[in-house]
Chains A and B, each alone.
Chain A
Amino acid sequence: MSATALRSGLLLCRSCDLLCRPLDGGRDGDCPRCGEALHPRKPDSLVRAWTFFVLACILYVPANTMPALESTTLIAFTSNTILGGVRVFWEDGDYLIAAIIFAASIVIPIAKLVALGILLATAQARSPWRPRGRARLYRIVHTVGRWSMVDIYVGGLLVALVQFNTIGEVSIGPASLPFAAVVILTLFCSLSFDPRLIWDPMDEAR
């Protein structure tokens, strides 16, 4: 049986990592050092994380099927989804850029949704399956998540730079809002998820 802060009745501040005792009368209180509200676990962790996860999954569809970028030049109007944008880079011979955008905009969001789904489902089911591996998965999800924003920044820069006084006009397509929302929602999801839930069933079983 492992001694944990929860079992010992101690509270760890999630902001400054101070280990605290609860107030008299069993209330959790605030961290005496930095003032953050103390909780034994992130409140409603799974409910919140599932909500963000489901919303992200729903918005993932328009993010990938609607046009991300619409450009008008003197000779043509083109409209591309995110995947279409990757193909344009590839056909132009910019293989490295195509690979970067493909990884940031297609691979990372999918991998992140799958990973979050696994983390949430196994925590919900109180599964004892490979906790150390899942803890590592959580850390990876937390680190790589923000890189999907590349596409949004490229869109913004193109809109700022390409104006009709020069070579044409670029406008951001209807996919950018749901796409940005997916990035933000998955970040909120991983911030809401409490990795200690991975270990709790094992601490209670023995």
Chain B
Amino acid sequence: MSEARAIVACPECDLLQEEAELGPRCVAQCARCGAQLFRRIPGSIDRTLAFLVGAAIFFVIANAFPVLSLEAQGLSNTATLLGTAQALYDDNERLVAILVFMTTVLLPGLEIGAMLYLLGSVRLGRVPRALSFAYRLAEAVRPWTMMQVFLIGVIVSLVKLSHMATVVAGIGVYALAGAILMVSAAVSMYEPRAFWARVRELGA
């Protein structure tokens, strides 16, 4: 089994085409269907890694602090990311609770963790031991991370409850916004080809 080089296949329409020479920050698109084939991002690994470190820090803070708290009659209730799933679980909506936990906590955490591990390893000059597992994990998990959708949910809840009680946005929600920005920045800097080229240099 060997790989064919200098020819790429479009992942969305299967057309074989010759690889174009790209200038920095340029995107190669499929000649037939317009799908993005690859990009050239100078310093892709270092930049992605920098944003991932930021994302990991924000993600931990977002999980440790309340996103919203409600105050009425001298009492207050707070909601954290995990607490939202917990509340649904206690309300006997266990499947929905598990889904909320997975899309807002578990899978985003796995994505950030797997990418940190992969890019951090090659940055330190090592081929990650669980290379193929971690790579496929990050790819498989990506469509299922919904932190950004949860943030809109927080804003909607804040407006809805503000008619009835005093609602305060907690540290968690700012950290969540930070984590979302950092992950998007990391993904926009991430180019799998650069990663695999580095792995090859390291002699996988």
B-binding residues in A (CB < 8 A): 2-6, 8, 10, 12, 14-23, 29, 32-36, 89, 92, 94, 97, 100-101, 104, 131-132, 135-136, 138-139, 142, 146-147, 149-163, 165-168, 171-172, 176-177, 180, 184, 187, 191, 195-196, 198-200, 203
Contacts and interface: CB of A to CB of B under 8 A. Distances in A.
Nearest to B199: A33
A34 B86 contact: no
Interface in B109-161: 131-133, 135-136, 139-140, 143-144, 146, 149-150, 152-157, 159-161
B165 A154 contact: no
A161 B135 contact: no
A166 B1 contact: no
11 contacts: A22-B1, A34-B136, A89-B160, A92-B163, A94-B159, A132-B34, A146-B149, A168-B164, A171-B91, A177-B96, A198-B13
B152 A150 contact: yes
A172 B93 contact: yes
Contacts of A203: 14
Given A16-B135, A166-B75, 6 more contacts: A18-B3, A23-B1, A89-B159, A150-B149, A150-B152, A167-B70
Contacts, number: 217
Contacts of A155: 88, 96
Given A4-B14, A97-B156, A177-B93, A153 B79 contact: no
Contact of A135 (B34, B75, B91, B164): B34
B198 to A, nearest CB: 13
Given A18-B3, A100-B152, A135-B12, A160 B83 contact: yes
Contacts of A191: 143
Given A4-B9, A14-B11, A154 B91 contact: no
List the 6 shortest-distance A-B pairs measured between CB atoms, nearest first.
Answer: A153-B153, A160-B87, A35-B132, A160-B79, A5-B9, A4-B14
Interface residues of B, number: 73
Interface string B73-111: 101111100011111100101011101100110000000
Given A97-B159, A161-B161, A150 B96 contact: no
Contacts of B1: 20-23, 29, 32
B180 interface: no
A3 B17 CA distance: 8
B12 to A, nearest CB: 4
A198 B33 CA distance: 10
Contacts of A150: 149, 152-153, 156
Nearest to B154: A157
A147 B147 CA distance: 10
Contacts of B104: 153
A191 B142 CA distance: 12
B142 to A, nearest CB: 11
A165 B75 CA distance: 7
A187 B107 CA distance: 15
